Amino acid sequence: MTADAYRPLDAASLPARLGDLPALRAQAGDPATWQVREVGDGNLNLVFIVEGATGGVVVKQALPYVRLVGDSWPLGLQRSWFEYNALTRQQARDPGSVPAVHHFDRDQAMVVMDYLDGHVILRHSLMAGERHPGLGAFLGRFCARTLFRGSGLAMAEPDRKADIALFAGNTELCDITESLVFTDPWREAPLNRFTPALAPLVAQLRADPGLKIATQRLKTAFITRAETLLHGDLHTGSVMVRGDSARVIDPEFAVYGPMGFDVGMLIANVLMAFLAQAGHEAAPGARDTFRDWLLTVVRDIWTGFESHFTSLWHTERRGILYPDSLFEDQDQPDASGLACAGVITGIWRDALGFAGCEMHRRILGLAHIAEYDRIADETLRARCEAQGLILGRALLLGQDHVAGLDALFDLTRSAARRDAA
């Protein structure tokens, strides 16, 4: 198949087309036994689950257009090359946190990877009110390990520069983020949509120059501050869970950027899950303890990130940044600790700003989230979304003044008390 020109797969012909691949046979057994279904519910790709006599495997193939929109929006196939490279780096930096890759075919834009049996998309699980022990700790550790180990704090500089160059080629997916996350929500754009009752609030947001300046400062950071290899799209649709097991998937938006981007996107999505609970609970207040749990997930993400990052700082700081020779070797360990705390504070502030962008774009832009979209009662949906916009604005305008988790939770609970669009 490698030599063939690109052709999209379909469930019926997949066994004939991929049946000779040793990597697939090793996982799923004799192709005659394969059951194939296409399950992609993301915005971009085909995703097949192949189950056979000896197990299962996932085959993910890029389409030459944006699936969410159709072939009127062409999109290059090379995103699968960036996804493959990101997955292998994440696997090395946080082993077991992502599906293992069994085969990659660049011509077919196809990655064959672990089938995560019984796992579901975290976003759907949070909508259903399911808890996952250890989730926040897992995600915080994933962020710390991948962000630290992909940065100039840890990597040999020639390797880091080579990776910056490699992932700088992911221009089309970056362009999506630059437009959809950092620009379109605050202007009229053809593919934007929002719940009509939000119109007065949207007009207010778009009329606020301070808000737009904040978003453009963050966009500047995104395109200029090549601090580390980002997942690039780390929302709750990019995490799969089953009980206390979790995996991060879908790093096709990977690029070098500011550390706070991944952390902020993640936190924003858990906070939106919090704010959308009113649209999914059986009666008002029925999900209050689940709401509390969601905030503990945010707490665990951040404290897990902070503690793992700090520990990596003291044990794996072998890059050119903040070298030992300036601190520990000169008997100034306290200065090193201080420097680490300063870096973490910067990540926190960035994360809050990026979280604000993510909340606004999921309510006002093209790519919405199921938590809000599936609230059938439009008045209730508008109320939940307005709360997201209010919190997003508070984070965008106040990113330097939200002192810590408790202040973030106060803002969140205060937004949740707003009872109209």
CB 60 within 8 A of CB 104: no
Which residues on neighbouring strands pair with residue 61, listed in sequence order?
Answer: 46, 110
64 SS3 class: coil
Assess 355 for contact with ligand SR1 (CB under 6 A): no
Task: Name which of 100 and 191 has its Cβ closer to ligand SR1.
Answer: 191
Which range touches ligand SR1 (CB under 6 A), out of 38-46, 203-211, 216-224, 384-392?
38-46
User: Within positions 188 to 227, which residues make up the interface with ligand SR1, using CB under 6 A?
Assistant: none
HSE-up (13 A, CA, CB side) for residue 122: 28
Vertex 170: Cα angle to 57 and 1 (nearest 5): 40
Tell which residue, 172, 185, 179, has the closest CA to residue 74. 172
Please choose, out of 25-33, 49-57, 175-183, 379-387, the segment that lies near ligand SR1 by the rule CB under 6 A.
Answer: 175-183
Residue 367 binding target from ligand SR1, Mg ion, none, CB below 5 to 8 Å by type: ligand SR1
Number of residues that bind ligand SR1 (CB under 6 A): 10
Angle (nearest 5°) at CA 336 between 331 and 340: 170
Q: Which of 42, 140 has the CB closer to Mg ion?
A: 42
Return the range that interacts with Mg ion (CB under 5 A); candidates 37-45, 321-329, 346-354, 407-415. Answer: 37-45
- As measured in angstroms, the least distance from the Cβ of 116 to Mg ion is 15
From residue 327, how far is each of 95, 150, 251, 322 by CA, in Å?
30, 22, 35, 8
Q: Does residue 388 bind Mg ion (CB under 5 A)?
A: no
**Is residue 42 at the binding interface for Mg ion, with CB under 5 A as the rule?**
yes
What's the closest the beta carbon of residue 176 comes to Mg ion, in angstroms?
11
Please say whether the beta carbons of 248 and 239 come within 8 A. yes
Q: Which residue has the tokens 């840890």?
A: 154
Which range, of 147-155, 172-180, 375-383, 413-421, touches ligand SR1 by CB under 6 A? 172-180
CB within 8 Å of 261: residues ≥ 6 apart: 222, 230, 232, 350, 351, 354
Terminal Cα distance for the chain, rounded: 53
Does residue number 155 form part of the binding site for ligand SR1 (CB under 6 A)? no
Q: Choose the one of ligand SR1, Mg ion, none that binds residue 176, judging by a C-beta under 5 to 8 angstroms depending on kind.
A: ligand SR1
- Tell me: does residue 250 bind Mg ion (CB under 5 A): yes
Q: Closer CB to Mg ion, residue 42 or residue 319?
A: 42
Rounded to whole angstroms, the Cα distance separating 217 from 182 reads 10
Distances (CA, A) of 19 to 22, 31, 54, 108, 235: 8, 5, 14, 15, 34
The answer to whether 358 contacts Mg ion (rule: CB under 5 A) is no
- How far apart CA 111 and CA 75 sit, in angstroms, is 17
Q: Is 66 in the site for ligand SR1 (CB under 6 A)?
A: yes
Nearer to Mg ion, 42 or 392 (CB): 42
**Applying CB under 6 A, which of residues 110, 111, 176, 263 lies at the interface with ligand SR1?**
176
203 interacts with, out of Mg ion, ligand SR1, none, CB within 5 to 8 A per kind: none
Smallest gap from residue 73 Cβ to ligand SR1 (A): 7
Stretch that binds ligand SR1, among 86-94, 157-165, 173-181, 401-409 (CB under 6 A): 173-181
**DSSP character for 114?**
E
Where does this chain bind Mg ion (CB under 5 A)? Answer: 42, 250
Where does this chain bind ligand SR1 (CB under 6 A)? Answer: 42-44, 66, 68, 176-177, 180, 233, 367
